Amino acid sequence: MSWLKALAVGVVLAAQITTAVAADMPKDFPPLPVLDAPRPRAFDVYSGWYVRGDIGYGWGRLDGARSATGFPDPSTNSLGGAMFGGLGVGIKRDWMRTDLTADYLSDMKYQGTVAAPNDVTAKMSAWSVLLNGYLDLGSWYRVTPYLGAGVGAARLRVSDYQNTAVPPFATGQSNSQWNFAWAAMAGVGYVVSPNIIADIGYRYINLGDIKTAADTSGLMTFKNVAAHEVRVGLRWSFDDIPAAR
């Protein structure tokens, strides 16, 4: 029966060890993890994205006009102003913003002088698509000033060309062409509500050169057409749309 004695001794020793260990353990145990606890919120795919709309007025300018070879260039040149409007979509990260915009600048009237005052006239309009970047410079009392620049392309059009001194002598012709375009901006944003910002700013946009339609005598080239614009618009952010989960 020696094995019974050994078993009894083992049981007694195990009971003593268990009692001693239990006495040394802390009385409060940390809660076990809950397997069905709520998971962290998924990444907000809408965060920072916004759409924008702008309207305003642009004052046209150009570096002059060049007539066909053998004909005098206009001695004076002026380009009037016109309304414009545009839409865009962008994203904001901290103090940086980027957006893609499309704008239409309506007819600006050109007047030039060759032999008599304003004996050369035409109209110029443009579609432009720009990728823009902005640096917000800080916020004070809901107002955030910014600087920006953009590059892209412009579809520049000249129409209703008329003259009495230089070619093309056929009147009423039009021509369009795509050019590289660039812009520089400055303005302020004002927080109207948590997801709506009013934007008031200035933009200089350079649209490049544009040629008239040609006839047998030649054509005229308008150099470095541009506009100084005063812009008013709204930016509406997507941040109030519930995120995907």
**pLDDT of 245 over the 60 cut:** no
Cα–Cα distance measured from residue 132 to residue 137, given in angstroms and rounded to the nearest whole number: 16
Query: Domain residue spans in the chain?
Result: 49-237
Report the pLDDT value the prediction gives residue 172, as an integer from 0 to 100.
Answer: 77
Cα–Cα distance measured from residue 199 to residue 193, given in angstroms and rounded to the nearest whole number: 13
Cα–Cα distance measured from residue 87 to residue 129, given in angstroms and rounded to the nearest whole number: 10
For 49-237, CATH gives 2.40.160.20
Question: pLDDT tens digits, residue range 5-30?
Answer: 443 444 444 445 444 544 554 555 45
3-state secondary structure at position 5: helix
- Straight-line distance from the first to the last Cα atom of the chain, in angstroms, rounded to the nearest whole number: 69
- All residues at 6 or more sequence positions from 58 whose CB lies less than 8 Å from its CB, including other chains: 81, 82, 83, 84, 105, 108, 205, 227, 228, 229, 230
Question: pLDDT tens digits, residue range 70-121?
Answer: 999 999 999 999 999 999 999 999 999 999 999 999 999 999 999 999 999 9
Contact yes or no for 162/191 (Cβ under 8 A):
no
Buried b (16+ CB within 10 A) or exposed e, 84-112: bebebebebeeeebebebebebebbbbbb
Cα–Cα distance measured from residue 61 to residue 204, given in angstroms and rounded to the nearest whole number: 10
Q: What is the mean pLDDT of the chain?
A: 85
- Residue 146 sits at φ, ψ, to 5 deg, of -150, 160
Buried b (16+ CB within 10 A) or exposed e, 187-200: bebeeeeeeebebe
- Residue 139 sits at φ, ψ, to 5 deg, of -125, 135
Question: pLDDT tens digits, residue range 30-80?
Answer: 554 544 444 444 445 557 899 999 999 999 999 999 999 999 999 999 999
